[in-house]
Amino acid sequence: AQSVTQPDIHITVSEGASLELRCNYSYGATPYLFWYVQSPGQGLQLLLKYFSGDTLVQGIKGFEAEFKRSQSSFNLRKPSVHWSDAAEYFCAVGAQAAGNKLTFGGGTRVLVKP
């Protein structure tokens, strides 16, 4: 069965500083990988996705993520955080062999200090 681990439950970062959120997955086949963001009281919005090809993926709002097969990781990064980036971030993994189902990590809540 596929699984996703986000080791950091909370991260606090100063506005303008860089941000990196960790995601590790476990799955035997080539996975599809996603990062979603959830603002307070809202649904989830897709930031970026990886299916194949270039392992460095660019997303919306200045985010990027790098797929590292050897480390089973798909970490999310942003060079300079804005106050509006305060939210909860979820990594998810899917695979063609698993049909249409995604498995989500437990989430990382990001707090931004002024």
Partner 1 sequence: IAGITQAPTSQILAAGRRMTLRCTQDMRHNAMYWYRQDLGLGLRLIHYSNTAGTTGKGEVPDGYSVSRANTDDFPLTLASAVPSQTSVYFCASSEGPSNEQFFGPGTRLTVL
Q: Which residues bind partner 1 (CB under 8 A)?
A: 4, 6, 9, 32, 34, 36, 42-46, 49, 51, 90, 92, 94, 96, 98-107
Q: To the nearest whole angstrom, how small is the minimum distance from the Cβ of residue 87 to partner 1?
A: 14
Rounded CA separation 31/25 (Å): 9
Sign of CA dihedral 105, 11, 16, 112: positive
Nearer to partner 1, 36 or 63 (CB): 36
Rounded CA separation 59/7 (Å): 22
Quick one: tokens of 60?
A: 């919306």
Nearer to partner 1, 99 or 114 (CB): 99
Q: To the nearest whole angstrom, how small is the minimum distance from the Cβ of residue 67 to partner 1?
A: 15
Quick one: tokens of 12?
A: 């606090």
Q: Is the CB of residue 43 less than 8 Å from the CB of residue 52?
A: no
Q: Is the CB of residue 110 less than 8 Å from the CB of residue 9?
A: no
Q: To the nearest whole angstrom, how small is the minimum distance from the Cβ of residue 66 to partner 1?
A: 19
Nearer to partner 1, 17 or 111 (CB): 111
Nearer to partner 1, 70 or 100 (CB): 100
